[in-house]
Amino acid sequence: MLDGCGRDIRYVRISVTDLCNLGCVYCKPRPVPKLTHDDVMSVDEIIALANDFVNAGFTKIRLTGGEPLVRKGIIPIVKGVCSVTDNVGLTTNGILLSEFAEELKAAGLKGVNVSLDTLDPEAYRKITGGGKLSEVFKGIDAAKAAELKIKLNAVLQRGINFDPLPLLEYAEKTGAELRMIELMPFASTLGYVDERALNAENWLRSLGAEHILDEGKTSLYRYRGHELKVIAPLSRNFCAECDRIRVTCTGMLLPCLHGAKAYPVRDKIGSAGFADYLGSVLKLKPPAHGIGEGIYQNMDMGSIGG
């Protein structure tokens, strides 16, 4: 489906809950108003919404949160969404993955993205507000045993993962693909961003990493004999190629992760007018984020669904 800038939008990230079992310092640093049960889309609504997107021409769906594995009914959700398209992903912090890996695979999921910024238990505990790294390792082992394809996402942070070698070696040992992601500023996390953010291009230069190619939002480098994938929405802005939108767990559609405007979609689920409505909202997708001009998202990443 084309947006107002002629971009072909075919990828939606659906948040299944705003709840999370971690409290990452750059993600959801302040308490947000608690949602009631009825505020959040039901299992059936999420599956029907996924079906609507596929019927409207979308080809990729990612389930996210909050933490999707704390959502009651996550297995029926995954099963239902996988029954409408085979290109389904799930992003998780991995804490509960050892419990769910086999069931996720049996429900039809082919792969998981696991967020992992560091291999240092103490640094992990600090970033995540008390998370236990050993549980993530257990989860990754279980995902591997269940034959789920694994991608590791590490948010680039000064003093945490400046040298990506340990993460690259761990990824290689695990058979996973590592992507380093530039830390993005949100209105509520500017203090942490000031302290820890690294400009990815400068960082790669100081590492002496060799640039191989840019492919969509991902840039490929070679670093100390390893392939290093980098996603740098700030230093290599890829808004012109953006193909995605997001829906929060309350059913609000955000055409841009950093945009101020969200549009209700919950009341359109299963309706004949869904595709037309979606088309009209996509026309309003901003051409680019305004972070460079100091325009920051007021919602938290965890509430939007990263």
Chain residues binding ligand SAM by CB under 6 A are 20, 26-27, 64-65, 67, 91-93, 115, 153, 155, 181, 183-184, 186, 189, 301-302, 306
Which of residues 3 and 67 has its CB atom nearest to ligand SAM in the complex? Answer: 67
- The CB-of-183 to ligand SAM minimum distance in angstroms stands at 5
User: Residue 113 CB, nearest distance to ligand SAM (Å)?
Assistant: 7
Under a CB-based contact definition with an 8 Å cutoff, are residues 109 and 151 in contact? no
232 or 253, CB closer to ligand SAM?
232
Cβ proximity to ligand SAM, 153 vs 248, nearer residue: 153
Give which of 227, 249, 248 is closest to 179, Cα–Cα. Answer: 227
Answer for the pair 117, 89: CB distance below 8 angstroms, yes or no.
no
Q: Are 199 and 234 in contact (CB under 8 A)?
A: yes
Report the alpha-carbon distance of residue 121 to residue 131 in Å, rounded: 8
Token digits of residue 155? 């948010």
Is residue 114 within 8 Å of 151, Cβ to Cβ? yes
User: Which amino acid appears at position 287 of this protein?
Assistant: P
Beta-carbon contacts of residue 187 (< 8 Å; ≥ 6 apart): 296, 297, 298
CB of 242 to ligand SAM, least distance (A): 15
Q: Measured from the CB of residue 255, what is the shortest distance to ligand SAM in angstroms?
A: 18
Q: Cβ closer to ligand SAM: 51 or 188?
A: 188
C-alpha distances (whole Å) from 228 to each of 155, 156, 236 are 13, 13, 15
What CA dihedral angle connects 112, 245, 236 and 136, to 10 degrees? Answer: -20
d(CA 278, CA 64): 20
- Closest to ligand SAM by CB, 61 vs 278, is 61
Instruction: Considering the complex, state which of residue 15 and residue 51 has its C-beta at the smaller distance from ligand SAM.
Output: 15
Give min distance, CB of 25 to ligand SAM, in A. 9
- The residue number with the shortest CB distance to ligand SAM is 306
- Closest contact distance (angstroms) between CB of 93 and ligand SAM is 4
